[in-house]
Amino acid sequence: MPIMGEKKYECPLCNKGFTTEKYRDVHVNGHNGEKENQCKMCKATFLSKSHLTEHMKFHNKLSKKFLCSECGKRFIKNDYLVNHMRRHRGEKPFKCKYCGKGK
């Protein structure tokens, strides 16, 4: 039975592991210089149009509508703001079940 998140598809060029054959194939295309999706603002390139679309959200200030009242940093999702606010409060809600160390 496969383990959830197991990286059993390996890049033949750099040995990096991937959870799906599709992700591995997209990665291999990157080695071949096939990054056809370029950001018009910063010239970064991406293997897929969906990665470029996600990247563009970080450039688009209108999409960053969630504002931190402590430091003024903006976020594209409320969940990102909620996680960010934990830092201001010093919260570490995720603890290792073995050693108890928080993150």
CATH architecture of 62-103: 2-Layer Sandwich (3.30)
**Backbone region of residue 90 per phi and psi (left: phi > 0; alpha: psi in -120 to 50; beta: other values):** left
Distance between CA atoms of residues 72 and 38, nearest Å: 29
Full-model pTM: 0.40
H or E element at residue 38? strand 37-38
Terminus-to-terminus CA distance in the chain, angstroms? 30
What count of other Cβ atoms lies within 10 Å of the Cβ of residue 22?
A: 11
pLDDT tens across the length of the chain (103 residues):
456 668 899 999 888 898 889 888 878 877 776 667 888 888 888 877 888 888 888 787 767 889 999 999 988 889 999 999 998 998 888 888 888 887 6
